[in-house]
């Protein structure tokens, strides 16, 4: 996955994700919006055939001073990784139970 930083300030971050589409970006957006320090967490995609999605993150004014938008993105990615692992484990258990029948 190739990323390109388009804008970075202490409160905002815009990152272009080359070659991705709605599937990954929806997942990242959902994880970002679960963070109470994130004011805006979303993405834009002009058209999937001619453009790459751009993730937009803006932090709330009243937050921990050390929390930056890049930290919010890293935490969201970790949350996604944890959920994928949890899903895989649950799926493997369900499949194993089904095969025993």
Q: In the chain, what are the domains?
A: 2-100 (3.30.1360.10)
- Give Cβ neighbours of residue 52 (< 8 Å, ≥ 6 apart): 16, 17, 18, 19, 20, 45
Structure tokens, 26? 């929806």
Specify the pTM: 0.86
Q: What are phi and psi of 44, to 5 degrees?
A: -125, 145
Mean pLDDT of the chain: 93
Most confident region among 33-42, 45-54, 65-74 by mean pLDDT: 33-42
Average pLDDT over residues 56-84: 90
């Amino acid at each position: 996955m190739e990323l390109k930083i388009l804008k970075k300030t202490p409160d905002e971050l815009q990152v272009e994700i080359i070659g991705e589409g709605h599937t990954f970006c929806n997942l990242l957006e959902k994880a970002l919006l679960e963070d109470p320090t994130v004011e805006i967490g979303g993405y834009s995609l002009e058209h999937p055939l001619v453009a790459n999605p751009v993730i937009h993150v803006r932090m709330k004014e009243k937050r921990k001073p050390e929390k930056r938008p890049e930290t919010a993105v890293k935490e969201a990615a970790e949350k996604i990784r944890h959920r994928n692992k949890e899903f895989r484990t649950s799926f493997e258990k369900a499949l194993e139970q089904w095969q025993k029948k």
